[in-house]
């Protein structure tokens, strides 16, 4: 479970960093994001990854504070059912989505 949290935290931090960079220049760019499950073979799979890029107005979570229901829906349930609408409400112009299917060990 620690590895999942660490990987999700890194992914979230990376997305947040990219969002900050995008708002600083306000220029349209093409971006490629690679998500890779580095877990050992025959171990854990990730629920379909949710991703989003926005103007920085969506704050998914704050370190050291209780998780909000949108992030809980992703972290514990593997679903973006609460996360996607919260993201869209914070920034209707955001680019967001879900990568379909489980991410098996070694897959990207």
* Pairwise CA distance, residues 78 & 7, whole Å: 14
Residues forming beta bridges with residue 78, ordered by sequence position: none
pTM summary value: 0.59
* Pairwise CA distance, residues 13 & 7, whole Å: 10
Instruction: Break the chain down into helix, strand, coil percent, rounded to 5.
Output: 35, 10, 55
pLDDT in tens, 31-72: 888 889 999 999 998 888 888 888 888 888 888 999 888 888
| Two tokens, residue 107 | 């897959």
* Pairwise CA distance, residues 104 & 42, whole Å: 9
Question: Coil, strand, or helix at residue 97?
Answer: strand
Read off the pLDDT of each residue in 80-107 and give the average, rounded to a whole number: 88
């Amino acid at each position: 479970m620690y590895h999942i949290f660490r990987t999700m935290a890194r992914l979230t931090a990376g997305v947040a960093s990219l969002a900050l960079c995008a708002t600083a220049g306000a220029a349209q760019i093409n971006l490629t994001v690679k998500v890779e499950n580095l877990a050992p073979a025959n171990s854990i799979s990730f629920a379909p990854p949710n991703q989003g890029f926005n103007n920085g107005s969506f704050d998914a979570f704050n370190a050291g504070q209780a998780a909000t229901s949108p992030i809980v829906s992703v972290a514990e349930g593997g679903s973006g059912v609460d996360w996607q609408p919260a993201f869209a409400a914070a920034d209707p112009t955001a680019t967001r989505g879900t990568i379909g299917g489980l991410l098996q060990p070694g897959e990207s």
